[in-house]
Structure 1
Amino acid sequence: MRAFVLASVLILAACGDAGGGVTSDVGPDSDGSSTGGATPTTGDIGTSDTGGSDDSGASTGPAGPLMPDPGDPRYALVDELVQLDGSQSSGAVMYQWDPGDGSGPGPKGPSPVLEVSYAKPGRYKPILTVFDEQGDSLAAGVTITVTHAPSWVPRHSSSVVRVGARVAVVSPDSNEVMIASGDERGFAVERHVKVGERPVTVAAIDAEVLAVVAQDDASLQFLRADGQGGVTQLALPPASRPYGVVADGETLFVGLQATGQLARVDFAGGNPVLEDILDVGPDVRGVSLLPDGRVAVTRWRSRPGGATVWAVDPQGGMVETWSLAFDPQAASDTEVGGVPSYLGPVVVAPTGDAAVVPGLQANVGQGLYLNGEPLAADLTMRAVVAYLDPQTGGEWFDRRKQFDNRGMASAAVHSRFGDYLYVATRGPRTVERVDVFSGDVAGNTFDAGYAPQGLALSEDDRFLFIDAYMSRELVVHDTRVFDEPTPPLARLQIASKEPLSPEVLRGKQIFNDSADPRISKDSYIACAHCHLEAESDLQVWDFTERGEGLRDTHALRGHAGVGDGPIHWSANFDEVQDFENDIRNAFGGSGLLSDADWSSGTRSQTLGDPKAGLSPDLDALAAYLATLTDEPRSPFRAPGGGLPPAAEAGRLLFLSPALGCVSCHKGPRLTDSEFVDPGVPLLHDVGTLGPGSGKRMGKPLTGLDTPTLHGVWRTAPYLHDGSAADLEAVLTDKNAKDLHGVTSSLTPDERADLVAYLLCLDGEVD
């Protein structure tokens, strides 16, 4: 047998100083070869001709000071015979091994060798105690990591992927894929390849060919990593907003977020063909292969009752629903209750018997109205990883892990034997390494770059590739020194040319950041943690302690900052710079304004003295939000982009004076949102206010700002408190007195037509 020596520094934090003695460092495979998915085994531990043992294995008592040497850390399989060898110790005449399995120390004897096997996976720490001729003793430990044999090659959607000896990463803002290569001598960019609009994920079909999802193009783009040939495009359903892609040989699966479907694409012979489209469920996002041949698809944003994962049989079309439960626990200084949301893909371990789902646990059950407890900055959300069985979909709820001082887990990847899990936290800019056996963090890297959103490991685990999207960098770390404050091996530019102005780029970084103490206390809350990709998290938060009430999160895309008028349901902000109030209060940050500027005049109040022009970073945030002018195209429109017949009939109803919709939802943006006097907004009571509606800026709430109707196809639930699950409920159950348009006289068919029209609204003027 050949010794499997860990190719990364996975052992360093785990070895410790067992028994108060000496521990060994860990290096890569000595010949530099890749171990890949090979089966880990213990090695034949050879004896040295001059190292102090004879052919029988008994010690000959080498000269020198007493010094134990328990050998190198290594991997072994469950129930495999492991040879522990202390023959390289000096000054020893007697040896005693404690195999670290709970059985305790064995007898002292002249042989430095003990053979042992381990019945369960784990990180075992055998201790060797050596004795000299005077009876003095010293001890040292070694780590033996025991796993089941890797049986699965994990494949899940990601923004960065290995392709043969190279690594590829998408650049959404510059519409490119960057391809790099390297080794311990250094890494370099090979090329940038232009692809479709807003590439979001990439998959390796084989060692050379890549498939890239261009979300805004609704297409798959195919290219060779070596730069040969051009880019081939396969059109996916219009306005389907594809996201995750994963390859199973020459078969690819693509999640269609806007339509709630899974597309199956055949790439046999290099000719992509759209073979099938399967209905799954709303808001599909991450896509993964499961060991039993099914495809796991995650629902990106969860409903309050729990998170959803679907297991799809790509042949028969059967869809099984798995759930990640709502956590009812009371919030503490280390954990919060709530629902896992913003789910990444299911990440299956190489052993095939466990999987994790990264995300954010949103504490939407807490607030002064909901449970009498304020929603403080450190109690609002936590980065979370949920564990589940990839065969049955059952969640191991007691293993769900929250990360203290981390607000959102955006990506995860297992080490090649499944004993470590690397987790990217988006706002805090870290990557955490979790010991899967203990569940503890065993090393991390800080300042990984703005908004890390994708992770990949080299085949031998030595190099970790981090897609630091908003730093425009692929960051390469040597995992052998992962738990030390060591700079990365490389920072490679993802974009060939920065597509945004310096101010807008800076604003986008601030929007996505929670590591800056000016923005957030203890790195928990970033703007993007409720508005990832400038969308809504589709959650309802209790903002009673802010002087408000239950508030459904608005989407930001299409609103152009203050382009639609005042901000929020109660029109309590008149400039984007008013988010300084949320930063200093709800986020717990020290603020982007100077304290002197903050305390001057009425500037510390929203709707007070203007904050614009006083902080370059606060103005940059406003500049970024002002660029959010586009609305994603609605998948409910006709293929050519027009209105289908039912929606056209609904449009006529919408415009009808008898219904009165356009009395408030008027103009191109379908809103009358405005300030009628300085600081005095136009509000309407449409009969939806209730006990949980709370106040406006601590004063009575008399009405609500009119939201635009553009984009309602993607923002359910509806109304200021999220109390309407769908548009039908808005028109019926929540409008019993016809205060929100005169809809009681509509027939069921007419209501269906009106809903069909509303679902088509996406910024176009019909």
Structure 2
Amino acid sequence: MTGALRADRPAAPVHASPQALCLSPDGALVAVVNATSDSVSFIDATTHAVLRQVPVGQRPNHARFSADGRQLYVSCAWDGTIDVVDVAAGKVSARWDAGGTPNGVALSPDGATLYVVDASEDRVRAIDVGCGRIQWETPVRNQPRYVTTTPDGARVLVSNNLGRTLTIVEAATGRVAEQRDLGRCSMLREVVTSSDGRWAFVANLVSHDEMPTLQIERGWIHSNGFTIMDLEQPGHRVTLLLDHLLQGAANPTGLVLSADNRWLYVSLAGIHEIAIVDVAKALELAATAQTADDVRRLQENVEIVEQLGIARRVSSGGLGPRSVALDEARGELWVAHYFSDAVAVLDANCGTVKESIPLHDPVEMSLWRQGELLSCDARMCYQNWFSCVSCHQEDGTVDGLNWDLANDGLGNPKSAKDLINGHDTAPAMWGAVRASLFDGIAGGQRFEGFVADQDRQDALETYFGSPEHVPNPYQRRQSPELIERGRLIFLAAGCDICHPAPRFTDQKLHDLGFKTVDDFRARFDTPSLRNVYRNGPWLHDGRAMTLEAIFTDHNPDDVHGRTRGLSSAELAALVAYLRTL
């Protein structure tokens, strides 16, 4: 994809879209990362006045203050950099290379090292804050999103967004100490540790892709909560759900833990609420899970947390709460509201909204922006269990899971396809059961439990019909010579016959020998190769865990392109080219 917007996508208005926030070490300032205005706002934590707005790189995602509070380290996902903001001067003083798509950042307890996760290259990197040099980098799992450290600085914890795992890395060496399996947890978001370093908490969904998608109620497609991990017991994890019996807690996203480990605050982005969790009671319940069956029963129980008074949910004070920060000195919880272009301040004890702080003058939502909000809004779903982004992420891509949808018959699960390529590559779905994007969106509304609403249909079709063009990090990081070599191999192998530019699909169904005993059909829709680098795992059932595996493990008869005779160097060039599409 290119960095420019499609001509048919509205260019205005510009929203702030606060994505993340953090409190300075002295508690004087709150820094707010504004994702779509490419800026950071600084707010006086006492007066709640917006002091200044500082431009940074494209699509800032996350930030942390330096140990002395003089710098703010901002991950700029579309530029692949960490922008170092001089807080006093109000400007970017340095820019460090941080890989393909830097997301979450965390500072070591001694303030000497910044840890950054790279969602497109599946890496965590340690950067020396004294010089901006990368000390080490370590492969983790699929699309890491957030990172934190243990209080002693010995371990780095990475929440793997699509990997269903938490990676634990030794901070000194970058060696992976453990890949902790989190079972059916998906869409892993922020992760925090307790002050004694024993416990870790991560916000996540629980996705029941092992079952046909026939029942929304009681969380049997998606449920929502957080996972507790005892870091002293390898493999330990217990997931507790923040849902209620008749109302889901869609899309847990942000987390913050009080210094005394008494309260855990979780933003529920899909229902615009904050969950306030009694940690002692949560740990007591988690301790009752002594067997694998106990763990399973707890992660399927949508009632017990509410029944035992472990958590209560309050209004977040805006639309789309994402990151949260706790000002314990003032007893205030700060909440970044992506769709309100504002930051709310809540009483941390009782959860009442004290104030909403706008980050700029009010801007009316365009139809495109309304569609973006609806894609993230679980109020579209019966009993609020999930939203579009529960399966397609906030960027409209994939969740890496195979789902058994009823729209093409039961018993043949297939991977979720991305939505951002649906606007000009009809038909939709692997079996072409939706004739167009319009049909797919209407079907999606029905899937969420309601008859398709025309106003919502118009907004969603405008949004998904004019997708946002993200700069491709591989175009920036691969050598032009390697890309060209891969392009010529792509053509020589005949890949362009079914994947012709510019859509990189012929929009037809083909039988390439991928049918399994579970499939009702042998012919599948040709997917577009645009954005293929971020749409894995690949093939209709997600059998290819890497792009290389498509050709090395799943093309023995050269039916899917003539690739059997490629050398390792030629295969590497082909994959390098594919990643730039």
TM-score by length of 2: 0.83
Q: Tell me the amino acid that sits aligned with residue 430 of structure 1.
A: E
Paired residue for 1:566?
427
Measured at CA, do residues 396 and 735 of structure 1 come closer, stay the same or move farther in structure 2, by a change above 3 Å?
A: closer
Q: Please tell me whether residue 552 in structure 1 is matched to residue 415 in structure 2.
A: yes
Match of 1:277 in 2: 136
Q: 1:459 maps to which residue?
A: 328
Q: What is residue 343 of structure 2 aligned with on the other side?
A: 474
Matching residue within 219, 229, 233 for 1:388: 229
Task: Tell me by how many angstroms 1:709 deviates.
Answer: 1.8
Contact 1:178/1:495, CA 8 A, preserved across alignment:
no
Q: Distance in 1 between matches of 2:553 and 2:92?
A: 51
Q: 8 Å contact 1:520–1:590 — kept in the other structure?
A: no
Tell me how far apart the structure 1 counterparts of residues 182 and 347 of structure 2 sit (CA, whole Å). 36
1:310 to 147, 167, 170: 167
Change over 3 Å in CA distance of 1:650–1:313 after alignment to 2: same
Alpha-carbon spacing, 1:301–1:693, altered in 2? closer, same or farther (3 Å):
farther
- Determine the structure 2 residue equivalent to 1:119: none
Gaps of 5+ in 2: 1-18, 283-308
Match of 1:512 among 365, 371, 376: 376
Aligned partner of 2:261 in structure 1 is: 418
- In structure 1, what residue type is equivalent to 2:57? G
Matched, 1:722 2:542: yes
* CA distance 1:666–1:580, shift in 2 (3 Å): closer
2:255 is the counterpart of 1:438: no
Contact 1:727 1:755 in 2 (8 A): no
Instruction: Judge conservation of contact 2:334–2:345 (CA < 8 Å) in 1.
Output: yes
SS at match of 2:254: strand
1:756 to 559, 573, 576: 573
Distance in 1, Cα, partners of 2:159 & 2:525: 30
Q: Distance in 2 between matches of 1:247 and 1:704?
A: 46
- 1:630-641 matches, within 5 Å, as 630-635=469-474, 639=477, 641=479
Q: Is the 8 A contact 2:404 2:413 kept in 1?
A: yes
**1:196: how far off?**
0.6
Give the Cα separation in 2 of the matches to 1:591 and 1:669. 29
Instruction: Give percent identity, aligned residues only.
Output: 26
On the 8 A contact 1:169/1:179 being kept in 2, the answer is yes
Could you tell me how far apart the structure 1 residues matched to 2:22 and 2:397 are? 26
Q: Tell me the distance in 2 between the aligned counterparts of 1:592 and 1:341.
A: 29
Write the distance in 2 (CA, Å) between the matches of 1:187 and 1:364: 44
| Cα distance in structure 2, aligned partners of 1:382 and 1:173 | 29
- Letter in structure 2 aligned against 1:298: V
Question: Counterparts of 2:159 and 2:167 in 1: how far apart (Å)?
Answer: 8
Are the aligned partners of 1:263 and 1:276 in contact in 2 as well (CA < 8 Å)? yes
What does residue 519 of structure 2 align with? 693
Deviation at 1:201, TM superposition (A): 0.2
What code does the residue aligned with 2:135 have?
D
CA contact (8 A) 1:362 1:380 kept: yes
Q: What letter matches 2:132 in structure 1?
A: V
Instruction: State the AA in 1 paired with 2:266.
Output: V
SS in 1 for 2:511: coil
Match for residue 501 of structure 2 among 638, 658, 667: 667
Q: Structure 1, residues 191-249: CA drift from partner, whole Å, max 9, x if none?
A: 221111000001011334211111111111122445x24212323155x1111111232
- Please, which of 243, 249, 252 is the counterpart of residue 403 of structure 1? 243
- How many angstroms does 1:173 deviate by? 0.8
1:531-585 deviations in Å (ceiling 9; x for gaps): 112221111111146536322122334x2x4123332222233443334543443
Equivalent residue runs for 1:253-652 within 5 Å: 253-268=115-130, 272-282=131-141, 283-303=143-163, 307-326=164-183, 339-367=184-212, 374-376=214-216, 378-397=219-238, 400-404=240-244, 405-439=248-282, 440-446=309-315, 448-460=317-329, 462-482=331-351, 486=352, 488-494=353-359, 502-514=366-378, 516=379, 519-532=380-393, 533-544=395-406, 547=409, 549-557=412-420, 559=421, 561-593=422-454, 615=455, 617-635=456-474, 639=477, 641-644=479-482, 648-652=484-488
Aligned to 1:169: 32
2:335 maps to a residue whose letter is: I
CA RMSD, Structure 1 to Structure 2 (Å): 2.7
User: Does the 8 Å contact 1:632/1:762 carry over to 2?
Assistant: no
From the CA coordinates, give the structure whose radius of gyration is larger. 1
| CA distance in 2 between partners of 1:219 and 1:733 (Å) | 35
Is the Cα contact below 8 Å between 1:351 and 1:417 reproduced in 2? no
Residue 560 (structure 2) pairs with residue 740 (structure 1): yes
Distance 1:407 1:384 in 2: 8
CA contact (8 A) 1:171 1:178 kept: yes
Aligned residue type for 1:528: V
Q: Is the 8 A contact 1:358 1:385 kept in 2?
A: yes
- Please tell me the residue identity of whatever aligns with 1:669: R
Task: Note if 1:189 corresponds to 2:50.
Answer: yes
- Measured in 1, the distance between the counterparts of 2:139 and 2:132 equals 20
Q: 2:551 aligns with which of 731, 739, 753?
A: 731
Instruction: Quote the Cα distance in structure 2 between the aligned partners of 1:188 and 1:281.
Output: 40
Map residues 140-151 of structure 1 onto 2, 5 A cutoff.
none
Distance in 1 separating the partners of 2:115 and 2:231 = 18
Supply the distance in 2 between the matched residues of 1:235 and 1:480 (Cα, whole angstroms): 39
Q: Per-residue deviation at 1:299?
A: 4.2
State how 1:197-212 maps to structure 2 within 5 Å. Answer: 197-205=58-66, 206-212=68-74
Tell me, what secondary structure is at the counterpart of 1:347? strand
**SS of equivalent residue, structure 1 residue 212:** strand
Distance across 1 between alignment mates of 2:319 and 2:28:
26
1:340 Cα offset (Å): 0.9
Aligned to 1:58: none
**In structure 2, what is the Cα distance between the partners aligned to 1:437 and 1:199?**
35
Contact residue 649 and residue 754 of structure 1 kept, 8 A: no
List gaps (5 residues or longer) in structure 1.
1-157, 327-338, 369-373, 594-614, 674-681, 695-700
Aligned to 1:611: none
CA contact (8 A) 2:21 2:32 kept: yes
Q: Is the 8 A contact 1:293 1:313 kept in 2?
A: no
- Shift in CA distance, 521/170, structure 1 to aligned 2, threshold 3 Å: same
- What CA distance in whole angstroms lies between the structure 2 residues aligned with 1:236 and 1:496? 33
Matched position secondary structure for 1:621? helix
2:62 maps to a residue whose letter is T
In the comparison of the two structures, how many residue pairs are matched? 525
Deviations 1:64-99 (A, max 9, x none): xxxxxxxxxxxxxxxxxxxxxxxxxxxxxxxxxxxx
Is the contact made by 1:562 and 1:574 (CA closer than 8 Å) also made in structure 2?
A: no
The Cα of 1:382 is off from its aligned counterpart by: 1.1
CA deviations 1:16-75 (Å, max 9, x no partner) are xxxxxxxxxxxxxxxxxxxxxxxxxxxxxxxxxxxxxxxxxxxxxxxxxxxxxxxxxxxx
User: Taking CA–CA contacts closer than 8 Å with sequence separation of 6 or more, which of the two structures ends up with the larger relative contact order?
Assistant: 2
If each structure's helix is expressed as a fraction of its own residues, which one has the higher value? 2
CA deviation vs aligned residue, 1:614-637 (integer Å, no higher than 9, x gap):
x2x3212122223325254243x6
Contact conserved, 1:583 with 1:590, CA < 8 A, in 2?
no
The verdict on how the C-alpha distance between 1:311 and 1:541 changes in structure 2, with shifts beyond 3 A counting, is: same
Scaled by the length of structure 1, the TM-score of the pair is: 0.64
Structure 1 counterpart of 2:20, from 159, 162, 169: 159
